[in-house]
Structure formats: structure tokens, C-alpha cells
Amino acid sequence: MTRSVTVLGSTGSIGVSTLSLFEESGAEIEMLALTAGRNVARLAEQALRWRPRIAVIDDEGGLAELRERLAGSGIETAAGSAAVADVAGQGADWVMSAIVGAAGLAPTLAAARAGSTIALANKESLVCAGPALIDISRAAGGQVIPVDSEHSAIFQVLQPGCADRVARLILTASGGPFRTWSREAMESASPEQAVAHPNWSMGAKISIDSATMMNKGLEMVEASYLFATPAERIEVLVHPQSVIHSMVEYVDGSTLAQLGPPDMRSPIACAFAWPDRLPWPAPRLDLAALGQLTFEEPDPERFPAIGLAREALKRGGNAPAAMNAANEVAVAAFLDRRIGFLDIAAAVAETLDRMNGDEGLSGGASGDALENAIMTDGSARRVAAEVLEGFGRRQMARN
Ligand code: NAD
Ligand code: MG
């Protein structure tokens, strides 16, 4: 059965893995739309290969070049964030949500409203407005299938109808590039060192999140919303080999795990074919060659982001949305060399402190949950920018 497909963020790490999986599996698809942020050349190349009905570039300055590159192909073009959300909402059977950051929220919501099956990689949209997003998708007859490897693992081993028999969700974490570094060394870590992930090749933002372990914090929130599980029942376990992608412990003491090589095409294949399985020449695990799997507790001193996320999740309301927004602003500042590595989590903590008492943080005074989450995202970005100004002056003094 041929399915219509839209890939949001097709030029990124997950977008490219998605198209590679389609190539490798020969899945029967009809491409409805491909969208990208700024990379016109790669988007045009993908469009010529996959022949979508429309190719959309978020950056309006890129439209003329996109048109030129696709001239005579019959592929429509458009630009701007409204156009991205518009094509996302055109009712494709399957939408890969792989834009990075809260910028992915509006298009993902549009796909949810259209009742599409959403393969969700864009974790920030869930952290910002997860409950609303899931409700909207359900109400429209669609579904959200997680692509994040940890959540895909849990999704695969969670027995339907057994949610109240789950004792703990155990999110595994590689520990990132600084797992064995001292706090002093982390203090002066450069963006190049922070994006060099030991096991996974990913976009810059999620690579920094893995280095601070805020990625695991965001994933804790993501898991809580996706699997209706409170913070108290979600744990993080460092597992440097990234072979076990996560586990579910049941009340009878039995623990189920999902394993696989660190290749995002596997969770993407799962989200594409579910509840079926997609045959493709996937890399296979060779456990004998690996020899051993190891585990350790995360260090809260060097990786305070996990604790921050746990607190935000316990606080509820829009605290996770504020945390996510502050983190996006701080990661961008670090990549820009305006602040140091350890300042990222410090800036998130300071932003949440300064927003204490903000009524938006506890869910908003009244009205629409989604609007409140989006407003909190905006105010947290403003507060984080102020916090970072102070941090930036410190960094300049250091340089
Ligand atoms: P990436 O930076 O490699 O790609 C992001 C994509 O989004 C690109 O196509 C880019 O052009 C597009 N984009 C960026 N800003 C945009 C905007 N404002 N409007 C429209 N499009 C925009 O990121 P990635 O590593 O592919 O990650 C994508 C998402 O998937 C993130 O939310 C990330 O946390 C999540 N994720 C990624 C991985 C991974 O292995 N890369 C694993 C799990 C989850
Ligand atoms: Mg993950």
C-alpha cells in the first residue's frame, strides 16, 4: 500500500536518515512535501530525487535559489514558516517531524490537526506542549509515534493495557562526550568538543544537549507525556555503549529492554511500519563482538540538567516549556561562544528561578493550554536572554 509522506526538516540528521531508510527499504511512498530551514542546495537535491509535490524552505531569502534549482521539474516551491506549517497540515498519511527546537511545534500541530500519523523526532515540541499536542492528534484520529530511540524502545516494550503495571521507565543515556571529564575540564569545553558525540551522529543542538545531558532531561519530560508516567517513576541510567535503548520495569520485577545498533533508521523504520516491521538491510548487533554492556549512575554535580528537568516536570504546568526555551537560547549562545559550557545549565536554572511566581509557568491564568505554553516559551526566551547578558560579560572577562 503506497502511503503519502511529508518530511519536515528533511535536510537535517533525522531527515537524511529518513530518506536513506526509504531508499534502503524500497518502501512504497508518495512524497507529498519536503521542508528545510536554510539549506537550499540539499533541499533541491532531495526534491529532484524524491519528487515531492512541493518543497518548502523556511528562510524566505532562499526561495529564489530554490525556484531556480527546481525550474522545469514541476515541483512547486514555497517559503516561510507559515508555508512550512501549511504543507505539514495537508493530511499526509505519515509525517516525519524532524525540525529542531520549538520551531517544530506549529508544523507538528498542523499535522496533528490533520489527523496524520506523526513520527515524532522533534522532542522540543512535546516538551513545550506535549499534552495539548497528543490530545489534538487523538481527537483528529491520528497518532504520535515516538522516534527518539529511548521512547521508541519503551513504545516497543510497553504492553498495551499494562500502563498501571509499570514500576519504572528506565531511560538509558550514553553519557555524552564529557562522561569521564572533570568539572574543571568541562568548564572550558569548546563547541567542537561538545558536538563530538561518541556513538551517535546528530545535529548540533541535540549534540550539545547530549553533552550537558539536558537531552536526557528533555527525554524525561517527553516520556512522562507520551506514556502518562510521573517523574518519580522515570529514571536515567548511563550506558556508554548505547545498545540498550531503554527499559520498562513492571510491578512483578520483570524488566523488558529493546536493543539495537546506534542507528536512527531503526526507530524511524519502527515508526513507519508500526505495528508491522519494515524489512531493510539494517546494521545488526554483534553482542559477542561487543563482549560487555556497562551501566553507571549519572553524576548530578557535573550534569545538573537532569535534576532541573525532574524539578520542572514535578512542578508541572509550563515549567518544562520554560526550561526548554531557556535551554534553546543558552545552547545557541554557547555555540556562538558567548557563554561557557557549564553556563548552559546554570542559565536554565537562573531563568526558571527568575520566572518563579510567573502565572504562565503554573499553566496560565485561564484559557487555552496551547496558547499558554507558547506564551511561556516566548517569555522564557526573553528572560533567558537577559540572564545570558550577565553570563556573557563573565565569559568576555575570561577570554
Ligand atoms: P538537525 O539540526 O540536523 O536538522 C534540523 C532540520 O530542521 C534541518 O532540516 C533544518 O533545516 C530544519 N530547521 C531548522 N530550523 C528550522 C526552522 N526554524 N524552521 C523550519 N525548519 C528548520 O537536527 P536533527 O539532529 O536532525 O534533530 C531534529 C530533531 O530530532 C530534534 O528535535 C532532535 O532533538 C530530534 N532527535 C534527533 C536525533 C538524532 O539522532 N539526530 C535523535 C533523537 C531525536
Ligand atoms: Mg534520544
Residue 12 gets the label, from left (phi > 0), alpha (psi -120 to 50) or beta, of beta
| CB 87 near ligand 1, within 6 Å | no
DSSP-derived letter for residue 159 is P
Position 391 scores a pLDDT of: 87
Position 124 scores a pLDDT of: 97
Q: Decide: 6 and 87 in contact? Cβ < 8 Å.
A: yes
Amino acid of residue 342: L
Report angle CA 9, 18, 333 to the nearest 5 degrees.
40
Give the span between the Cα atoms of 398 and 104, in whole angstroms. Answer: 35
**Which of 124, 150, 202 gets mutated to test ligand 1 (max ligand atoms within 8 A of its CB)?**
202
| CB 57 near ligand 1, within 6 Å | no
Q: How many residues does the chain have?
A: 399
User: Residue of the nearest CA to atom 32 in ligand 1?
Assistant: 122
DSSP string, 233-302: GEEEEE-TT--EEEEEEETTS-EEEEE--S-THHHHHHHHHTTS----------HHHH-----B---TTT
Residue 99 gets the label, from left (phi > 0), alpha (psi -120 to 50) or beta, of beta
Query: Distance, CA 101 to ligand 1 centroid (Å)?
Result: 7
Share of the chain above pLDDT 90, in %: 91
| CB 36 near ligand 1, within 6 Å | yes
| pLDDT over 90 (residue 161) | no
User: Residue of the nearest CA to atom 43 in ligand 1?
Assistant: 148
Q: Decide: 40 and 69 in contact? Cβ < 8 Å.
A: yes
Beta strands 234-238; 143-146: pairing state: unpaired
> Which of 18, 218, 232, 244 shows the shortest CA–CA distance to 152?
244
The three cell numbers of residue 262 are: 546506534
Beta strands 166-173; 244-250: pairing state: antiparallel
Position 32 scores a pLDDT of: 98
| CB 15 near ligand 1, within 6 Å | yes
| CB 124 near ligand 1, within 6 Å | yes
Position 364 scores a pLDDT of: 67
| CB 264 near ligand 1, within 6 Å | yes
User: Residue of the nearest CA to atom 15 in ligand 1?
Assistant: 37
Position 393 scores a pLDDT of: 78
Residue 363 gets the label, from left (phi > 0), alpha (psi -120 to 50) or beta, of left
**In sequence order, what are the residues at sequence separation of 6 or more whose Cβ sits closer than 8 angstroms to the Cβ of residue 254?**
none
Q: What is the rounded average pLDDT for all residues in the chain?
A: 96
Alpha carbon of residue 259 to chain centroid: 20
DSSP-derived letter for residue 242 is -
Task: Judge if the upstream peptide bond of residue 320 is cis by omega within 30 degrees of 0.
Answer: no
Grid-cell match 572550558, residue found: 188
Query: Distance, CA 97 to ligand 2 centroid (Å)?
Result: 14
Alpha carbon of residue 271 to chain centroid: 15
355 in helix, strand or coil? Answer: coil
DSSP-derived letter for residue 256 is E
Position 359 scores a pLDDT of: 79
Give the span between the Cα atoms of 330 and 385, in whole angstroms. Answer: 8
Give the span between the Cα atoms of 250 and 206, in whole angstroms. Answer: 30
* pLDDT tens readout for residues 312-371: 999 999 999 999 999 999 999 999 999 999 999 999 999 999 999 887 787 766 678 899
Would you call 141 exposed, middle or buried from its count of C-beta atoms within 10 A (0-12, 13-18, 19+)? exposed
Q: Which atom of ligand 1 is nearest to the CA of 264?
A: 40
User: Residue of the nearest CA to atom 10 in ligand 1?
Assistant: 37
Position 366 scores a pLDDT of: 64
DSSP-derived letter for residue 148 is S
| CB 39 near ligand 1, within 6 Å | yes
More confident residue, 399 or 276: 276
Q: How confident is the model at residue 399 (pLDDT cuts 50, 70, 90)?
A: low
Please enumerate, as own/partner, the contacts of 201-204 that have beta carbons within 8 Å and a separation of 24 or more.
Answer: 201/13, 202/13, 203/12, 203/13, 203/14, 203/100, 204/335
Q: Decide: 333 and 339 in contact? Cβ < 8 Å.
A: yes
| pLDDT over 80 (residue 396) | no
Position 365 scores a pLDDT of: 62
Cα–Cα distances (Å) from 128 to 140, 141, 369, 370, 381, in that order, read: 20, 22, 11, 9, 12
* pLDDT tens readout for residues 177-231: 999 999 999 999 999 999 998 888 899 999 999 999 999 999 999 999 999 999 9
The three cell numbers of residue 347 are: 542559565
The three cell numbers of residue 128 are: 513545550
Start-to-end C-alpha separation, the chain: 59
Query: Distance, CA 97 to ligand 1 centroid (Å)?
Result: 9
Query: Distance, CA 34 to ligand 2 centroid (Å)?
Result: 23
Query: Taking residues 388-395, what's their average pLDDT?
Result: 83
Position 162 scores a pLDDT of: 84
> CA-based diameter of the chain, in Å?
63
> Which of 146, 156, 131 shows the shortest CA–CA distance to 219?
146
Position 67 scores a pLDDT of: 98
Give the span between the Cα atoms of 43 and 293, in whole angstroms. Answer: 39
